[in-house]
Homo-oligomer: A and B are copies of this chain.
Amino acid sequence: MSGADAIDVAAEQWAAACPRLDVAPGDVLARIQRLAQLIEEAQNRRLRRRTGMVVNNLGDFDVLRALRRVGPPYALTPTRLRQAMLVSGAGLSGRLNRLQKEGWITRETSPDDGRSSIVRLTPEGVADLDRDLEDHYAFESDLLRALDLDRRRRLAGDLRPLILDLEERL
């Protein structure tokens, strides 16, 4: 028995204040949301503090990661980027503007389709990013240290169907 978290406390309060209301399902969602907030805040702080890391924003970092992991020539269209990343078109444009201004990426018009563009990681961008990625994943691993490997796997396995279901329906 290792204690009650903030959501347990809230659930107890609900039971006392509104016994007829079934808030049990909300517990899982509330925990997911609270964790996401804690994690994102921690990651943003980390990104901002890291010397050499000009990106100070997890959203921008996500764009770079998506470009990096497709492999050479590290290029994607904005539409493909959006599919990887759950952000509005306007939001993505903003991210790309910032990253371009900082020299991480270039934008060229697509030869196949004049409406489309090709976002490409610059060579220095790739190099800088590779330096930062290792630190980033080490940090993520540290954030998860409360869970052993089995629990992580089980957690991932339980979260996957939820994502699949919601992505399909929403």
Contact = CB atoms under 8 A, between A and B. Distances in A.
Contacts of A32: 32, 35-36, 39, 159
Given A14-B69, A29-B39, A29-B140, A160 B86 contact: no
Main secondary structure, interface of A, reads helix
Q: Which of the listed residues A26, A28, A42 has the most CB atoms from chain B within 10 Å of its own CB? A: A28
A127 interface: no
Nearest to A38: B166
15 contacts: A5-B163, A5-B167, A6-B163, A13-B70, A17-B71, A18-B133, A21-B134, A23-B137, A25-B137, A28-B156, A33-B36, A35-B166, A36-B36, A38-B163, A151-B158
